[in-house]
Copies of this chain bind each other. A is one copy, B any other.
Amino acid sequence: MPTINAGRLLSDLRRFAQFGAYKTGVHRPTYSREDMDSRRWLAQQYEAVGLQAHIDGVGNVFGMPRSGRRSLLIGSHAESQDYAGWLDGALGVIYGLEIARTFAETLGCAGLPIAPVAWADEEGHYVSMLGSRSFVGDIDEAEIDRAVNVDDGLPLRDALREAGLAGVPRSLVEPKRHVGYLEAHIEQGDALEASGNRIGVVTSIVGIWQYSIVFYGIQNHAGTTRMGIRKDAGVAAATLAMAIAKRFPEVAGPCSVWTTGRISLEPGAPSVIPGKAEMLFQFRDSKMPVLERLDAVLRELVKETAMKTDCRAEIEQTETGKPCHMDPAFQDAIENAAARHIPNAYVRMPSGAGHDAQVVARRLRSAMLFIPSIGGISHHWTENTDDADLVLGCQVLTDAAEAILRGEGNT
């Protein structure tokens, strides 16, 4: 059995967190100097394991076995959210590297083809899941031409040129070259911690349905307009938010989540009755019938709110991701490995967050493993995981990778 080098794993995770270090976390936006430095460092490490490394035209880093045999891709994304945690993405990337090294060093495993990968811009500084979408052929040059940085508006093309990637070809998946894809990630929630589990075997990645809901009232003077004749778009938005809070628990699934991330009132002045209110609302579930039910209830509540508040309403669905189911045999491989190490401390669970695995799964058999997030904290520089869990997760994924590759006829 291949056994990882726990000290090396932890040391590499900490080395990787030096790229863009911020407090106890990292600030490593896609294509920043720190991000590109980290990708070049990864390519060097892949080469040192004897792999053929390259960075493709959107910054994905691949380490391909020189044997050319069908390999198992293992990785995650290398960049971070702004001023965020050290493990989100980096964990799966360094796991891929450590597993490749471990196999290379282990008698009887050196021939098992592991291909570590680090995707670019899963976090969407330019385009959410850009790297994995490029890999599966789900992005064209025109979309890349149009894309800009969400914070400062820098065109993606300019960022790619500054990163030295102009003219570099984008690597496209060749399904025959790969057995599949494994991704490890911190849970980013507290379900594992709260239930005393140390490994989550991801069954599916939730579908995210997102909406822009706009209410139109009548903008007017907040001092001279009698309450009785007001059409206050802000009151309409609050009314809808409360209707959702009351009704959704009755129709949601046990793992459904829903969030109003933004409310904007126009003109937003203290003495003006808002004439327009915009809400960004989303819900997530791993089951299509639940998503469809929540959609129907939401539309009904928007209509009711518009009637009740006498404000015209518009609802536009801006995202309709389908739930993505992980490969059953790969799930079993991860579960079997977990069961050997921690018989009573693993659980099958859906992922509430989106991940590159849901994109790669369109073309390759894919699965994911979660390890606990302390306090459920993520997307924040205080994000962390116990060292013992960091090590355990990597060993479980290593065992699963071995089982998958041997199952494929590798010896």
Contacts and interface: CB of A to CB of B under 8 A. Distances in A.
Given A190-B225, A221-B378, A271 B260 contact: no
A265 B238 CA distance: 13
B221 A188 contact: yes
Given A234-B241, A263-B234, A265-B262, A378 B224 contact: yes
A335 interface: no
A175 interface: no
Contact of A259 (B232, B238, B242, B280): B232
A220 interface: yes
A227 B249 contact: yes
A223 interface: yes
Q: How large is the interface on A (under 10, 10 to 19, 20 to 34, 35 or more residues)?
A: 35 or more
A261 B265 contact: yes
Contact of A261 (B225, B255, B272): B272
Interface in A252-296: 252, 255-265, 268-274, 280, 282, 284
Contacts of A258: 227
A353 interface: yes
Nearest to A232: B259
A166 interface: no
A218 to B, nearest CB: 9
A221 B352 contact: yes
A293 to B, nearest CB: 16
A354 B223 contact: yes
Interface in A350-386: 351-354, 373, 376-380
A93 interface: no
Give chain A's interface secondary structure class: mixed
A252 B249 CA distance: 34
Contacts of A307: none
Contacts of A272: 259, 261, 379
Contacts of A71: none
Contacts of A221: 188-189, 352-353, 378-379
A351 B255 CA distance: 53
Interface in A215-235: 219-227, 229, 232, 234-235
A225 B270 contact: no
Contacts of A121: none
A35 interface: no
A262 B268 contact: yes
Given A260-B234, A269-B261, A229 B282 contact: no
Contacts of A269: 261-262
Nearest to A211: B270
Contact of A226 (B189, B225, B235): B189
A380 B376 CA distance: 48
A76 interface: no
Given A268-B261, A270-B262, A220 B376 contact: yes
Contacts of A56: none
23 contacts: A188-B223, A189-B221, A189-B225, A190-B226, A191-B226, A194-B229, A220-B378, A223-B257, A223-B353, A223-B354, A224-B373, A225-B352, A226-B257, A234-B241, A237-B238, A238-B242, A259-B270, A260-B265, A262-B269, A263-B263, A263-B264, A263-B265, A272-B379
Interface of A: 187-191, 194, 206, 208, 210, 219-227, 229, 232, 234-235, 237-239, 241-242, 245, 249, 252, 255-265, 268-274, 280, 282, 284, 351-354, 373, 376-380
Task: State the 6 A-B residue pairs at the shortest beta-carbon distance, nearest first.
Answer: A189-B224, A238-B241, A223-B352, A222-B259, A188-B224, A223-B353
